Amino acid sequence: MVSGAELAGASCLPSQGSLVRSLSVPCAMVVLWALTLDAASPPNIVLIFADDLGYGDLGSYGHPSSTTPYLDQLAAGGLRFTDFYVPVSLCTPSRAALLTGRLPVRMGLYPGVLEPGSRGGLPLEEVTLPEVLAAQGYLTGMAGKWHLGVGPEGAFLPPHQGFHRFLGIPYSHDQGPCQNLTCFPPATPCDGICDQGRVPIPLLANLSVLAQPPWLPGLEAHYVAFARDLMVDAQRQGRPFFLYYASHHTHYPQFSGQSFAGRSGRGPFGDSLMELDAAVGALMATLGDLGLLGQTLVIFTADNGPETMRMSHGGCSGLLRCGKGTTFDGGVREPAVAFWPGHIAPGMTHELASSLDLLPTLAALAGAPLPNVTLDGVDLSSLLLGTGKSPRQTLFFYSAHPDEIRGVFAVRRGKYKAHFFTQGSAHSDTTADPACHAASPLTAHEPPLLFDLSQDPGENYNLLGGAAQVTTEALQAVKQLELLKAQFDAAMTFSPSQMARGEDPALEICCRPGCSPWPSCCHCPESQP
């Protein structure tokens, strides 16, 4: 077990102050449009994935008080999506969809999320995005939150799923006791107590425990240093790189380094978001320093909507309805930006897109063959490069607890979205809308709730409701959506649930195997600076 100082030295970890100073390096986003790239050269890829970030949380998406200048600059210089979705509004299934281009039910990643001692995980026979890119010569690395399983001897961890390098926590940072952890320096404890009866959260380097628990205020700086090293090493080796930067921000309990604590004007959530934004700025500054901005595609999005049960600590879905855990748009529609100077023109698109589409899109841009499996994603490269429209016309949304009898809960086709079933979630408690809350039971709708999202993005006005004058167009739309659902459900086969394999506490990662008393003895904390 290395000390915190040795860890910092080994990773050239900057202090929080030097991290902030590095962000002042101009990214020169607007002066690089003239850069060209040999069409035969595959792009470097930086995929930034935020955690529990709402559609309305960024300044570029309308939040009046968020401090997100680097993300806003990225949005101004890239293609900003207004209608970008994830298929399920929970961490584990959303991340599985992102990395495979497949709906989570095909992989058995349901219901809910994986736990630290889960026997299941992302099946090793699944072909992941880093595996696709590694086969094309990419150096692949992941920093941050995994949440796709640990398994015996770490069988499901990133080094076994296509990543050459991994630095991160294998699940959510609230899936272990946090009442004695510092979230904001110098000594502000984390809000709440998180999960009890678990081992402290471990920070892993590949399959080795670096700290258990890590010092949370320094965690993002570790990840930025890891990302910088990956970029430098790939450039030195003359090969492209794929960086999956899966930040813990803005998941509860929020944390940040000294330079951001109390600085955002939006409380702990805003401080956490401010540090995420600064990390994005640092990544862009590194690309600029290395002369790689014109050769690198940067994509930013998030795994699901805000956890509104945390109130001001839980994020904002903007004008959208509900949040995490639901199939309303506040749970599944996410901010998303694609940035690639000289290749992607700045602007905004209302075309439909999904996190499922990233694997086929990035494979096409990298010149990689697609996996020989059923993919639910489509290639968006023509949309990104301005040569065509999105081929995606339809989106299917599953509940956080899906089953084959009910099938998909909601379907969107063009501007229309139909809800065949709705159910509230504890994650979306405390909002003014009771339909979002856990107390709102599973409800079948016949006819389905129908919304025109071009006019009613908040899903407030059911076009088939009693007070509405039902138009011929609405009737035709619902008939089409009913048919799409029936056909899709009939063709879908659920894989056996990985979560149903249960849990084994012995699978929880411990820096002191066999120690006692379990699990509190698994304690090898990182030294604080």
Reported as a single tens digit per residue, the pLDDT across 170-199 is 999 999 999 889 999 999 999 888 999 999
Strand ranges inside 288-342, DSSP E: 296-302, 333-339
Rounded to the nearest 10°, the torsion over CA 139, 340, 330, 72 is 120
- Split at pLDDT 50, 70, 90, the class of 40 is low
Q: Which of 27, 63, 91, 524 is catalytic?
A: 91
How confident is the model at residue 223, as a pLDDT?
A: 98
Compute the average pLDDT of residues 217-245: 98
Residue 140 has pLDDT above 70, yes or no: yes
d(C-alpha 461, C-alpha 482), whole Å: 19
Evaluate whether 294 touches 38 at the Cβ level (below 8 Å).
Answer: no
> What gap in Å lies between CA 445 and CA 68, rounded to an integer?
40
Measure Cα distances from 175 to 111, 145, 216, 245 in Å.
17, 12, 14, 20
Pairing of β 410-413 and β 394-397: antiparallel
% of the chain surpassing 70 pLDDT? 92
Instruction: Please say whether the beta carbons of 464 and 474 come within 8 A.
Output: yes
SS3 state at 491? helix
Segment 12-22 mean pLDDT: 37
> Which entry of 12, 27, 63, 147 is annotated as an active-site residue?
147
Contact between 292 and 32 under an 8 Å Cβ cutoff? The reply is no
Note the pLDDT of residue 20.
40
Q: How long, in residues, is the chain? A: 529
Beta-carbon neighbour count of residue 452 at 10 Å? Answer: 18
| Percent of the chain whose predicted confidence (pLDDT) is above 90 | 85
Which letter, b or e, does each residue of 81-111 get, where b requires 16 or more Cβ atoms within 10 Å of its Cβ? bbbbbbbbbbbbbbbbbbbbbbbbbbbbbbb
For residue range 103-139, what is the model confidence (pLDDT) as tens digits?
999 999 999 999 999 999 999 999 999 999 999 999 9
Q: List, in order, residues 6 or more apart from 210 with CB less than 8 Å away.
A: 1, 2, 7, 167, 202, 203, 204, 526
pLDDT confidence of residue 15:
39
Query: CB-based burial of residue 474 (10 Å sphere; 0-12 exposed, 13-18 middle, 19+ buried)?
Result: middle
pLDDT of residue 468: 66
Which pLDDT score, from 0 to 100, does residue 467 have? 66
User: The dihedral of CA 58, 303, 287, 262: what is its sign?
Assistant: positive
**Catalytic annotation present for 91:** yes
Exposed/middle/buried for residue 166 (C-beta within 10 Å: 0-12, 13-18, 19+): buried
**Residue 277 is inside which H or E element, if any?**
helix 267-289
What span, in angstroms and rounded, lies between the C-alpha atoms of 397 and 422? 11
What is the average pLDDT across 217-229? 97
pLDDT value of position 115: 97
Q: How confident is the model at residue 390 (pLDDT cuts 50, 70, 90)?
A: very high
Least reliable range by pLDDT among 89-93, 201-205, 432-436: 432-436
How confident is the model over 143-167, as pLDDT tens digits? Answer: 999 999 999 999 999 999 999 999 9
Average pLDDT, the chain: 91
Structural contact between residues 60 and 260, judged by C-beta atoms closer than 8 angstroms? no
pLDDT at 31 over 90: no
If pLDDT is split at 50, 70 and 90, which confidence band does 45 have?
Answer: very high
pLDDT at 9 over 50: no
Q: For 308-321, what is each residue's pLDDT tens digit?
A: 888 888 899 899 99
- Please say whether the beta carbons of 447 and 478 come within 8 A: yes
* Dist. CA 306–CA 314, nearest whole Å: 6
Q: What is the pLDDT of residue 4?
A: 32
3-state DSSP assignment of residue 45: strand
DSSP assignments along 150-210, one per residue: --GGGTTSGGGTT-SEEEEESS-TTSSB-TTSEEETTTEEPSS-B--SSPPPPEEETTEEE
Q: pLDDT band for position 264 (50/70/90)?
A: very high
Q: Say what the pLDDT of residue 10 is.
A: 31
**What does the pLDDT read at residue 271?**
96
